[in-house]
Amino acid sequence: MPQPTLEEIRHSASHILAQAVLQVFPDAKLGIGPVIDEGFYYDFGLSRPLSPDDLANIESRMQQILKEAQDFRAYTLPRAAATLFFQEREQPYKLELIEDLNVPEYSFYENGPFIDLCRGPHVQNTTEIPAIKLMRVSGAYWRGDEKRPMLQRIYGTAFHSQSELDDYLLRLEEAQKRDHRILGKALDLFSFQDDIGPGLVLWHPKGAMIRSIIEDHWRKEHYKAGYDLLYSPHVGRATLWETSGHLSFYRENMFAEMLVDDQSYFVKPMNCPFHIKVYESQHHSYRDLPLRYAELGTVYRYERSGVLHGLMRVRGFTQDDAHIICTPDQVSAEILEVLSLCSNILDAFGFHKKHVYLSTRPKEKYVGNLDLWRSAESALEDAIKTMGWDYSLDDGGGAFYGPKIDIKIEDAIGRLWQCSTIQFDFNLPERFDMTYVGSDGQKHRPIVIHRALFGSLERFFGILIEHYEGKFPVWLAPVQIKLLNLSTETMDYTKALANVLRQAGIRVATDLSDEKLGYKIRMATTEKVPFIGVIGKKESADNMVSVRTRGSSDSQIIAADLLIKHILDAAQQG
């Protein structure tokens, strides 16, 4: 008998969770219980908030259910019988699902005394779930709608073995230490404030410094790669979004309409239409192409409050957006150049392990002819192979408007993060009637390739914080060295040295307070600065500084004029 998949184990575990909750709270109202990336959850309507003791009790009951060797059995019921089943059990959320699905027959799964509306898949028997753990409880609006009842969501996870579960819990403990929301506050990098609104980031000076370094590196590499940089407005007339199609298929994710001079405007959720309008501002021939437009463009999208998560999911963010406009015979070379640029930039920030996914034409709804799709898919696949990368094929997983490559980066503790996307778009060139004059003197439709390498600066910054645990490499650190004076007698020398370092392009801070040296060192250590420089009477008299490197308790005495080279060399090394 083949080993059940992780999805089957976790999906079955969610049913066992619901069964255990009904044993503890017979009047619980059942929501939904899907599998998620690292486990599963189930939503419940309960008469009171769950406590940690409740969670322990529920998990204990789940362990007992596992030992009962309950079989999972699938069957179907017609609509009337399915409705009656949940009416008799007073399960309003299940009745709503029955109503919304609106099919002649409904799939159910039964294990022991528990029966749930479900398509599967499941294990054959509860004994096939060797390792299970409940993680936490949170609030969740029914179906993600703030106007609907607030339910209690119990998160859990399950694995093929106890050792895999133990390894996961260790990784989770490590991840909690790296949580960018906690480190962001501790290191004074950014904040969210109620007066401004949820999902809208305030970049503090140190966070803004790192952002500036990221942007400067991004711009430098893009200029070298032959991109032209653009700036576009934050709002556009409704007619623009009607042409692009956003008002018809993306309206619910856009911020509210504004009326200016009796004209409707919307805050931009994407930069694409503006880049296309720049292209359309002039006539182009095949000799002008390819054009590579790039922008660090801030966009705004309405995300439900329940899914907002620090920098990883926000409502206002800056995309490192680019659009390549080219002829069909330029596509292969352009894709390869994009992948090379992407690899170089991600490597520079310490992400050397990349997981690549190729998504092809959907089986049903799509725009563009088959030859166009096949050519684009071939160009993407050939470029990946030329780079020498392994990849996974998501057959039929492309967007309706074009195939794509997604690149996930692996961080220091093995987690994968979606960052880069290279996406063909066969839709917008048609909507905006984009053309160029070919060598035959006729008008032709150009190829448009969307491309983002970081995805968004906010999310990428959050990933960086967690990857480095706030211990940024010297070239990225907002403060590269912090100078600490031992007494007021060395204050002038400390200030003068700090100024010399600044003029040399080194990011320096000082602590000139009257606190004891031990306290100053502890504070600088918690700030995770790469270097701490201590200046006493002897260092001041000899034009020296006592330097301690991050992670070491040892110090070395360095001449002040050599300190600049010492730090700049370290920055060059990363």
Query: Three-class SS of residue 154?
Result: strand
| Residue 321 bears catalytic tag | yes
Contact 284, 293 (CB under 8 A): no
Closest CA to 30 of 132, 118, 102, 103: 118
| Residue 118 bears catalytic tag | no
| Residue 181 bears catalytic tag | no
Half-sphere exposure of residue 160, counting CA atoms within 13 Å on the CB side? 6
Out of 321, 406, 411, 425, the active site residue is 321
- CATH at 521: 3.40.50.800
Query: Three-class SS of residue 351?
Result: coil
Query: Three-class SS of residue 164?
Result: helix
pLDDT tens for the chain, 574 residues: list them: 678 999 999 999 999 999 999 999 999 999 999 999 899 999 999 999 999 999 999 999 999 999 999 999 999 999 999 999 999 999 999 999 999 999 999 999 999 999 999 999 999 999 999 999 999 999 999 998 888 999 999 999 999 999 999 999 999 999 999 999 999 999 999 999 999 999 999 999 999 999 999 999 999 999 999 999 999 999 999 999 999 999 988 888 999 899 999 999 999 999 999 999 999 999 999 999 999 999 999 999 999 887 889 999 999 999 999 999 999 999 999 999 999 999 999 999 999 999 999 999 998 889 888 999 999 999 999 999 999 999 999 999 998 999 999 999 999 999 999 999 999 999 999 999 999 999 999 999 999 999 999 999 999 999 999 999 999 999 999 999 999 999 999 999 999 999 999 999 999 999 999 999 999 999 999 999 999 999 999 999 999 999 999 999 899 999 988 999 999 999 998 7
pLDDT for 132: 96
In a domain, 255, yes or no: yes
Residues 288 and 260 in one domain: no
Residues 242 and 298 in one domain: no
In a domain, 471, yes or no: no
Residues 159 and 224 in one domain: no
Q: 170, exposed or middle or buried, with CB in 10 Å at 0-12, 13-18, 19+?
A: exposed
Out of 15, 301, 467, 482, the active site residue is 301
Out of 118, 272, 326, 342, the active site residue is 272
How many structural domains does the chain have?
Answer: 4
| Residue 538 bears catalytic tag | no
Residues 151 and 287 in one domain: no
Question: Strand 316-326's sheet: what is its strand order?
Answer: 228-229, 291-300, 316-326, 447-452, 416-425, 404-410, 354-359, 391-394
DSSP string, 389-421: --EEEETT-SBTTB-EEEEEEE-TTS-EEEEEE
Query: Three-class SS of residue 240?
Result: helix
In a domain, 514, yes or no: yes
If one counts every other C-beta atom within 10 angstroms of the C-beta of residue 76, the result is: 12
CA atoms of 316 and 228, how far apart (whole Å): 24
| Residue 319 bears catalytic tag | yes
> Which residues on neighbouring strands pair with residue 399, listed in sequence order?
402
Query: Three-class SS of residue 308?
Result: coil
In a domain, 523, yes or no: yes
> Which residues on neighbouring strands pair with residue 429, listed in sequence order?
none
Token pair of 227 as six digits: 């991109």
Residues 259 and 407 in one domain: no
Residues 15 and 138 in one domain: yes
- CATH at 47: 3.30.980.10
Q: What is the pTM of this model?
A: 0.86
Residues 413 and 487 in one domain: no
Residues 162 and 245 in one domain: no
Sorted by sequence, the CB contacts under 8 Å of residue 73 that are 6+ apart come out as: 109, 110, 111
In a domain, 422, yes or no: yes
| Residue 301 bears catalytic tag | yes
Range of the domain at 243: 233-270
Residue type, 568: L
Out of 323, 354, 451, 520, the active site residue is 323
Closest CA to 463 of 316, 329, 349, 339: 349
Residues 305 and 338 in one domain: yes
Domain boundary among 245, 270, 295: 270
| Residue 352 bears catalytic tag | no
In a domain, 77, yes or no: yes
Residues 450 and 312 in one domain: yes
Out of 153, 404, 507, 528, the active site residue is 404
In a domain, 355, yes or no: yes
Q: What is the DSSP letter of 252?
A: G
Residues 241 and 293 in one domain: no
**Strands 228-229 and 202-203: what pairing?**
unpaired
Domain boundary among 155, 170, 185: 170
Out of 19, 91, 152, 319, the active site residue is 319
- CATH at 325: 3.30.930.10
C-alpha distances in Å from residue 38, one per residue of 11, 18, 131, 138, 311: 12, 18, 14, 16, 20
In a domain, 498, yes or no: yes
Token pair 């949170």 is at which residue? 138
Out of 153, 315, 450, 459, the active site residue is 450
Residues 555 and 414 in one domain: no
